[in-house]
Structure 1
């Protein structure tokens, strides 16, 4: 029975860990300039005397605050299945871009599962955390390495008293 339970947990985590993924992209990164906008000269404003007005410098936020938040990314997984068995998985992440290609991040994990049949039932809350590193190969393709630590409870089913065979 322990083998069945462990197989269910592992298959649940493998199947649903990448079911839904999301990542927030700031609006200024989503907008692109057209070729016409970049090549067209800007019209200069003139004063009443006919002289050109000097261009105003754009307002800039503190350089360190602005650059820090541009390097932060949010994402994660949400997955679920209801019926028998029932699964729910919520795993948000937050990452920091060390460069244009590489990001390090972390996040909590929470999963709930319930399984019932005539001879076996299981109901548990799994939780833990993860740390990851992600290398962006292109804009939409990346390689990711991740390590997780998850708390799983195995109630005493009487199997612990059986002799261990080697």
Structure 2
């Protein structure tokens, strides 16, 4: 029975994968002619409607599974994105960030708990640099603002403030169909050393991100 269950699960996964491929496949595929599907117009040269140039997706911005015995936190962050294919090589987009922190430490006589939220917005642009040499490699510029919580050691309380982060770097996109893609970004936070509060958002000036849109 266990083997039968595994076969049924495998069949379901294969079926769903085929269905996804059919949904994301370009309806006017040009790959048989050795060319990638156009991103902003049909093969006949007609511009695609606004709605067909949109990409909706996002990713998990951070994930850490805490251990209550040693006091490490549980952290999970999500970052939904809406992007627009402005031209064959230019993508413009915006998104929101949300991170949830929970800290729990069990001591012999007490349990210390704490939880809070961090949220923000971002806008970005991606430009395909040299598609003839390295297809789907984009120069990536982004401006991000996050509302963080930080400790005020003088007042002995937590406060909140906005922290901005200009990010520059590269993104490689593995396309799926006409527009959708899996994106790997390597970015550098210009404000990291200039603003100590930036370290409450990212623990390093280098930001590695995986997203889907």
TM-score by length of 1: 0.52
Greater helix share, structure number: 1
Unpaired segments of 5 or more residues in structure 1? Answer: 1-24, 37-62
1:149 aligns with 2:148: no
Q: Which residue of 63, 81, 86 corresponds with 1:93? A: 81
CA displacement at 1:122 relative to structure 2: 5.0
Indicate the residue corresponding to 2:32 in structure 1.
34
C-alpha distance 85-29 of structure 1, shift in aligned 2 (>3 A): farther
Unpaired segments of 5 or more residues in structure 2? Answer: 1-22, 35-45, 67-71, 157-213
What is the root-mean-square deviation in Å for CA atoms of aligned residues? 3.2
Indicate the residue corresponding to 2:99 in structure 1.
111
Off by >4 Å, runs of 4+ in structure 1: none
CA distance in 1, matches of 2:27, 2:63: 31
CA displacement at 1:31 relative to structure 2: 4.0
TM-score by length of 2: 0.42
CA distance in 2, matches of 1:34, 1:81: 44
CA distance in 2, matches of 1:160, 1:30: 64
Task: State the SS of the aligned residue for 1:160.
Answer: coil
CA distance in 2, matches of 1:93, 1:71: 14
